[in-house]
Amino acid sequence: MNNRVFIILLLVLAAALGGWIYYTTTQAVSAEPIEEISTKWWASAHADITSESFVHWNEDDPSEVPPTCAKCHSGRGFIDYIGQDGSAEFVVDQPGAIESVVSCSVCHSDAAHALDVAKFPSGVEISGKGMNSLCMTCHSGMAAGKNVELVVAGVDADTVMPDSSLIGPHYKIAAATNLGGDAQGGYEYEGKTYVGAYAHAEGVQTCTECHDPHSLRMNQPYDAKNANLCSACHSNVTSFQDYKDIYYEDGTDYDGDGTIEGLYHEIQGVREVLKGAITAYSTEVIGTTLGIGDNYPYAFIDTNSDGELSEEESAFPNAFKLFTPRLQKAAFNYMFVKYDGGNYVHNGKYVLQLMYDSIADLAEVSNASTAGLTRP
């Protein structure tokens, strides 16, 4: 055997060995025993057949999930949306089945594996994210700042729109937060610039790099006190509660309370300022105080203007229906921050920018103020 043939054989063997090592090592990490995957999934929100997410329409006649909701609130609806059932892609053709959870077949099919684009309510399409597009499709919300703009178009900023309702982005909008200005999820004020997708450290930049796709919790190793996914870089993190104490290296006091805190706390501080600005504007300009609650329709009259909603005030007959364009924009951003509990990890600077600009806009015609606040 001449030297050239020998070298070629060595290269072939080396490539084969490398492929085998890659396959066996990646399989050891990703190909968990089906029993473990099943156990994780059964304990997840995706499998919770009692969740309001899947039973909200049970008492309707007929009992079915409307097409506008079925994409994300019915496993069969999502299969319809991605065209796995042979129907057109990116559209839900019919109502979804009730109590149809996010089962294996929803995310594991030819159509699901081929999905590489997520469509956001703003009209933006984000591609190149691979199977993370599955997560992004349903964690992008149902409305964006551009939807607000369409509703208020042509109306003076401080003119009340009779019988108007609060526009919110919907729930669990992690993807919209994470992509920031790239997805245009929040209400972005004219003339302002906004950060795009948040680029975290290498290895923790996508949905499934941080979250186990079956349990939905932070990736393994995981238990209630273990947070070592982050502690590799953040030495002060020893539990999940410690995530809230991580702050940017610039050490900025964004909420102006005189203390440099973890980003979670800075965001909560600015959110309280925005809440106060909404109270001040609605009281002074409209003459009726808006309070934002946790139950539908979320916007209620704060009858004593104390900034808090009692149980009686949070009743449907007491709904607030006096939005102006200026108030609608700020309230939308308040809801945008409210409905991503992990925004301080997903893209803290984006939500801080949205809130600062909302407060500044309300302050133009009320006693609201950005004094002490810092815009990233």
Three-class DSSP category at 290: strand
Instruction: List strand residue ranges (DSSP E) for the chain, in order.
Output: 117-119, 125-127, 290-292, 299-301
**68 neighbors 75 (Cβ within 8 angstroms):** no
pLDDT value of residue 356: 98
DSSP one-letter code for 318: G
363 alpha carbon, distance to own chain's centre: 27
Domain ranges of the chain: 42-114, 145-363
Distance CA 338, CA 331 (A): 10
Three-class DSSP category at 218: strand
Pairing of strands 125-127, 299-301: unpaired
Side chain identity, residue 177:
T
pLDDT value of residue 250: 84
Helix 325-338 × helix 348-363 angle, to 10°: 160
pLDDT value of residue 220: 55
Among the ranges given (219-233, 243-257, 338-352), the one the predictor scored with the smallest mean pLDDT: 219-233
Contacts of 276 (CB under 8 A, 6+ apart): 307, 368
Q: How confident is the model at residue 305 (pLDDT cuts 50, 70, 90)?
A: very high
pLDDT of 7 > 50? The answer is: no
Tokens 């937060």 sit at which residue? 177
Three-class DSSP category at 291: strand
Q: Which two tokens stand for residue 296?
A: 């539908």
Three-class DSSP category at 36: helix
Phi, psi at 65, each rounded to 5°: -90, 120
pLDDT value of residue 28: 37
**120 neighbors 101 (Cβ within 8 angstroms):** no
Instruction: Quote the longest CA-to-CA distance of the chain.
Output: 94
Reported pTM: 0.89
Distance CA 177, CA 336 (A): 8
pLDDT value of residue 226: 53
pLDDT averaged over the chain?
Answer: 89
48 alpha carbon, distance to own chain's centre: 20
The string of DSSP letters for 258-283 reads S----HHHHHHHHHHHHHHHHHHHII
**Pick from 232, 222, 198: which is nearest to 342 by CA?**
198
Mean pLDDT, range 135-146, rounded to an integer: 97
Among the ranges given (23-27, 91-95, 335-339, 346-350), the one the predictor scored with the smallest mean pLDDT: 23-27
List b or e across 8-32, with b for residues whose CB sees 16 or more CB atoms inside 10 angstroms.
eeeeeeeeeeeeeeeeeeeeeeeeb
Three-class DSSP category at 366: coil
Distance CA 68, CA 4 (A): 64
pLDDT value of residue 249: 81
Distance CA 54, CA 349 (A): 33
pLDDT value of residue 232: 78
pLDDT value of residue 235: 80
pLDDT value of residue 243: 85
pLDDT of 354 > 70? The answer is: yes
Phi, psi at 12, each rounded to 5°: -65, -45
Mean pLDDT, range 242-268, rounded to an integer: 92
Three-class DSSP category at 53: helix
